[in-house]
Chain A
Amino acid sequence: QSALTQPRSVSGSPGQSVTISCTGTSSDVGTYNYVSWFQQHPGKAPKLMIYDVTKRPSGVPDRFSGSKSGNTASLTISGLQAEDEADYYCSSYAGSYILVFGGGTKLTVL
């Protein structure tokens, strides 16, 4: 099972919006609505930001939103803030009990 494809890096200025893509295949992202997004600050454990493609856990700001089209899922962060600077990872259920992660995207807030 191959890793999901994410851009290595994205950047944006405070207050702007950025979108991070996560491209899989018809065997994972394209078939299942079990896409999650995680935020990871340096030296910390990942934190769940989005699950089931579009749902936000309690406590996650509504500036974070998720979507999916075909084999590509996306995480959009609006109203960028300095504390949003982190690495972001997507994951997807891929059938047959398998979970697959993306390679990660470094978000820089300029």
Chain B
Amino acid sequence: QVQLVQSGAEVKKPGASVKVSCKASGYTFTGYYFHWMRQAPGQGLEWMGWINPNSGGTYYPQQFQGRVTLTTDTSIGTAYMELSRLTYDDTAVYFCARDVSLWFGELDYWGPGTLVTVSS
């Protein structure tokens, strides 16, 4: 069965970076794109971009360009999201999700989420 398991909660200081992992199992890792989303407390979902695990190709929306880096390690079936220059507004739950329609947004499996708290 398909599973996405994310790394544990993080507390970071403003200006620091955070790297969240998403380990996939139960299917061919390189066969599907990964998207990353975040959800600030009490807010909606915000899309952060996608990565093609087969090629390493990525796309970031403008508001995250230069601050987000998506990578994968195909040897261990794990996707990563690194966010730099953290501010208090980056406090959120971060989700990874598998896309079965290339990059078109059919997100059929999601990780449970990783809470990142930015606090001084």
Contact = CB atoms under 8 A, between A and B. Distances in A.
Contacts of A97: 50, 59, 103
Interface of A: 1, 3, 32, 34, 36, 38, 44-48, 51-52, 57, 89, 91-93, 97-104
The B interface, classified by DSSP as helix, strand, loop or mixed, is: strand
B104 A46 contact: no
A89 B45 CA distance: 8
A101 B46 contact: yes
A48 B47 contact: no
Contacts of B50: 97, 99
Interface of B: 35, 37, 44-47, 50, 59, 61, 95, 97, 101, 103-108, 110-113
A73 to B, nearest CB: 12
Contacts of B101: 34, 51-52
Contacts of B110: 45-47
